[in-house]
Structure 1
Amino acid sequence: MTTSPAALETRMREYRPRVDEEMRAVVGDDSSGLYAWMRYHLGWEDRDGVPTGRGPGKMLRSTALLLSAEACGGVVGHAIPAAAAIELLHNFSLVHDDIEDDSDTRRGQAALWTLVGLAQGINTGDGMFTLARVALHRLPDAGVDPAVAFAATRELDYACMRLIEGQYHDIAFETRSRVDREEYLAMVEGKTSALFAACAAMGALIAGAPAERVDALREWGRQIGLAFQAVDDLLGIWGDPAVTGKPVGDDVAVRKQTFPVIAALASGGAPQLEAAYRRNEDGEPVVAAPDIAALTAEIEASGARATTEALVREHRALADEALAASGLGDEARLPFEEYADLATAREA
């Protein structure tokens, strides 16, 4: 694995300010509540409207899109509106996800809905979804052929619907005591993987890449998304709250059906966990804090942590295979390989 991802770091330093600037142009500077709340969630302002000097998270999805566009010979500037659209769409999903999961924090600060209420939280998320479409409307102004802009928009729309389908299944799992591996992976293909796949495909489309390369890069993004979610599941149980911005054991507390839990239950060696998750069917309240540590220890003792880490490696390897099938040269593939390192070895 690459230990010093210089090629990727160089590009991210170039990409992030440009995407951030485009997002700010789309969101605007209206001081009314709706847009101020968007800027708060995106990290640009604190709850009092004071600029923070921060940005909207890691921006990994827009980075994948721009890497793809550049690797396929496109002009990065042409793809910037699509990159902004991806980030706005992703953040719309986070606003709604916090509400659906009853999560109080996001990126180390109070989740938006806890400040403005459920109704206005939903409305603000809806606004960001709409602005993602507005961002795509700016593609022709950036030099993209309208037919290509339409193809990119279609790619994102289908991915968004897959994301919503995946979220539907994720929520439905909360009332079940057991979920199997295949159901989990199908859910993740929508909830997380679809957007990564769309990012890689959209960049290639905007660059005018042949269909075979678009398909290969879409598959690369799909596999990266599957690995990414498995890492997310690990962090949801064992992540450092100071780094993740989420309470320790947050996923166990609300009895989410994440992959380590599914693997632990399938092992037959987690009786306390099995008893706790049977309560999902009764709609009982969240797990008490003292029990979280015991359940987490049982998950690890079952071998589920190692099983989840193996799942990450499996999909990382499949991503590498898809990247090789893209036909890109060694130099063009390097930042994708470094991106895969970053996505699968992260701590937040």
Structure 2
Amino acid sequence: MTALDDRLAIYRPHIVREMREIVGEDRARLYSWMRYHLGWEDPEGNPAETSPGKLLRPASLLLAAEALGGKLDQALPAAAAVQLVHDFSLLHDDIEDESETRRGRATLWTITGIAQAINSGDGMYTLSRIALLRLRDRGVDAQRTLDVISELEQACLRLIEGQQLDISFEDRSSVTRDEYLAMIEGKTAALLAACFAIGARVAGAPEQSVDAMREFGRRCGLAFQAADDLLGIWGDPAVTGKPVGDDLISRKQTYPVIAAIESGEAPALQAAYRERAGASIDIAALAAEIEAAGARAATEELAAEQVEAALAALALLSLGDDRTLFGDLAELLAARDA
């Protein structure tokens, strides 16, 4: 295990414990559905031990807080809040994309129906705000708490703006790279940027450090989405929990697709994207055409460029031995496998 693995392993149980305290054990169906989506219960409400994943967003917040002199215990409510926001967004995303599986399990809406799944997502969004109020009990002063709330609210709005753009792209046969980058700035990068900025705010760091951390997170978010786009075409279903070529089946406008179409060397792909989502396609052939057009390599290059820019954003910060952890985290986000 690397030093980053060790640190993430330390953070994970603290994050889950904080989240469990916030969600609580109320047996009302609404809360049971939330716990199912979070992987803590099965559809009947019995305890389950589904892996929560790496919890990279809340862990990023904790890493930023500690690196800038903050205390782990003080930052935990904010860490739980950003994970609840992330899970709320995934729940609604599953509905909007009509995704039937996530992390190898049935998505909540396929069990409860759309209306009740929306209610569950709304509940998690609200709990994330309640979680932030716990900062007061951990010794975070009122101004810092308000700054944290503002940071997360702005990120949520950007996230929703990005999701709206992403859905609107599904009605188009082509999207430009600039349009795509504007979309992922909101849908993916905004929340990760907020995680690092919030960690800095909880630590009481100066605004210059908050800005540097936010930029680091933004760049990491762009790299993360590039890696996710690669998984959407070439990912292993046993690892991702989603069907092979899922993004092609749903006609998602992702970076490798856009780059391939712009190259003029992917006629079959372009024809497929003129058809409705779900229409029969040869996934393997389209994936091969995208790669032959140089779009897979272009997406990998985008991820690498964003990692380099992320590290440059932290150049002036005094991070001590933790600087290596930030570099390793950026590389992990850009080379994710699930």
Into which bin does the TM-score normalised by the smaller protein fall? over 0.9
1:4-31 Cα distance to aligned partner (Å, 9 max, x none) = 531x222212211111111111111111
Tell me the amino acid that sits aligned with residue 228 of structure 1: F
Measured in 1, the distance between the counterparts of 2:286 and 2:322 equals: 44
Q: How big is the shift at 1:245?
A: 0.5
1:329 aligns with 2:319: yes
* Correspondence for 1:206: 202
Note the 1:222-233 alignment, pairs <5 A.
Answer: 222-233=218-229
Q: How big is the shift at 1:55?
A: 4.4
* Contact in 2 for aligned 1:5/1:335 (Cα 8 Å): no
Aligned-pair RMSD on alpha carbons?
A: 1.1
Q: How big is the shift at 1:77?
A: 0.6
Q: How big is the shift at 1:285?
A: 4.2
Note the 1:1-348 alignment, pairs <5 A.
Answer: 5-6=2-3, 8-279=4-275, 284-288=276-280, 290-325=281-316, 327-348=317-338
Q: Percent identity?
A: 60
Measured in 1, the distance between the counterparts of 2:307 and 2:23 equals: 35
* Contact in 1 for aligned 2:68/2:319 (Cα 8 Å): no
Measured in 2, the distance between the counterparts of 1:316 and 1:287 equals: 36
Measured in 2, the distance between the counterparts of 1:200 and 1:329 equals: 13
Runs of 4+ deviating beyond 3 Å = none
Measured in 2, the distance between the counterparts of 1:249 and 1:13 equals: 31
Tell me the amino acid that sits aligned with residue 287 of structure 1: A
Tell me the amino acid that sits aligned with residue 293 of structure 2: S
1:152-205 Cα distance to aligned partner (Å, 9 max, x none) = 010000000000000000000000011111111110000000001000000000
* Contact in 2 for aligned 1:42/1:55 (Cα 8 Å): no
Helix, strand or coil for the counterpart of 1:176?
coil
* Contact in 2 for aligned 1:255/1:287 (Cα 8 Å): no
Question: How many residues are paired up?
Answer: 338
Measured in 2, the distance between the counterparts of 1:50 and 1:189 equals: 38
Q: How big is the shift at 1:300?
A: 1.3
> Which piece of structure 1 moves more, 166-175 or 8-17?
8-17
Helix, strand or coil for the counterpart of 1:324?
coil
1:81-139 Cα distance to aligned partner (Å, 9 max, x none) = 00000000000000000111111111110111111111111111111101100100111
Q: How big is the shift at 1:330?
A: 4.1
Helix, strand or coil for the counterpart of 2:126?
helix
Unaligned runs of 5+ in 2: none
CA gap of 1:298–1:287, structure 2 versus 1, over 3 A, is farther
Tell me the amino acid that sits aligned with residue 252 of structure 1: L
Q: How big is the shift at 1:340?
A: 1.1
* Contact in 2 for aligned 1:179/1:257 (Cα 8 Å): yes
Tell me the amino acid that sits aligned with residue 215 of structure 1: D
Measured in 1, the distance between the counterparts of 2:279 and 2:285 equals: 11
Helix, strand or coil for the counterpart of 2:315?
helix
